[in-house]
Amino acid sequence: MNYFRTAILLAGLTGLFMGVGFLIGGGNGAMIALLIAGAMNLFAYWNSDKMVLSMHGAQEVDAATVPDLYAMVSELSQRAGLPMPKVYLMHNPQPNAFATGRNPQNSAVAVTTGLLQQLNRDEVAGVVAHELAHIANRDTLIMTITATIAGAISMLGNFAMFSGMGGNRDNNNGMGMIGTIAMMILAPLAAMLVQMAISRTREYAADNLGAQISGQPLALASALARISNAAHAIPNDTAERSPATAHMFIINPLSGARMDNLFSTHPATENRIAALQQMAGGAGQSYAQPQAYPPGGPWGGQTAGRRPSAAPSGGPWGNATRRGPWG
């Protein structure tokens, strides 16, 4: 089903890309856009994850640089029955995270330094489990390719405005400059609507499975509330420059000051929290509580939710964050 959804999405975005090309350059523009879209789809399948990680300045980390986070991802991946993904850190003060990759064997989880500094361990575990759920549900391919093509559609609209090609006489529908202006407004909006359509049910499903993986739905609910509040107060400049990637994050990273955030790519945080609270209330019926972490697990043998007696130099997340939630 996920492969079918991916095919339908790619066909829809390719058609939209061709429509923009037609408005810019008529029949020739549509054909050129089709060729570009075909090449872009192929390139995005193999390289879009690297592009998105690079776009957000994500740096790969390991057990030596951020030991506690790396161990946490490893343990939760085992719980989820997934291969160990690559772990990336984004030096960004806004708490947030996303997952990417074309399949579970080629996947990555990226978190911000703000997430590690402002959330406690249980909350971070809930966020990581949510992102692993996206990988398990094979959402990451569709998320990443959507970001790539939606960004290209927006760029094509801007190109039309500055190139003046909207008045091309080859444009058989005669819309000219009016068509160009309409395309500049409607094309990015249409791409955004596609992002919204695939985001709503996907986020609820990842919250549900993520809560099962971590075993703590209320910790994930708390994390969503804290990230949502921080997203409005702490700007994510990288995401603001690349709004087409906003749907990839666990919470919309855009401040809302731009038109890009007029239609949110995420369900209402309050509704997601309510669903998790309902899940916690019926935990005995809806899923089995996971076994306790073994000694030396991702929380260093400490009971979940308790502060450790001593944190290693640079905080429990290692030196990469400069200070940790316990620092």
Placement of tokens 């330094």 in the chain: 113
Residue 244 · residue 147 · CB < 8 Å: yes
Task: List residues bridging with 249 in a β-sheet.
Answer: 98
Q: Tell me how far the alpha carbon of residue 189 is from its chain's centroid.
A: 19
Residue 215 · residue 290 · CB < 8 Å: yes
SS3 86: strand
Q: Which two tokens stand for residue 280?
A: 């916690």
Query: Among the options 131, 203, 240, 270, which is catalytic?
Result: 131
Q: Which two tokens stand for residue 197?
A: 């359509």
131 is catalytic: yes
SS3 108: strand
Q: Quick one: which H or E segment has residue 53? A: helix 2-55
Residue 89 · residue 110 · CB < 8 Å: yes
Residue 85 · residue 74 · CB < 8 Å: no
Q: Which residues are catalytic?
A: 131
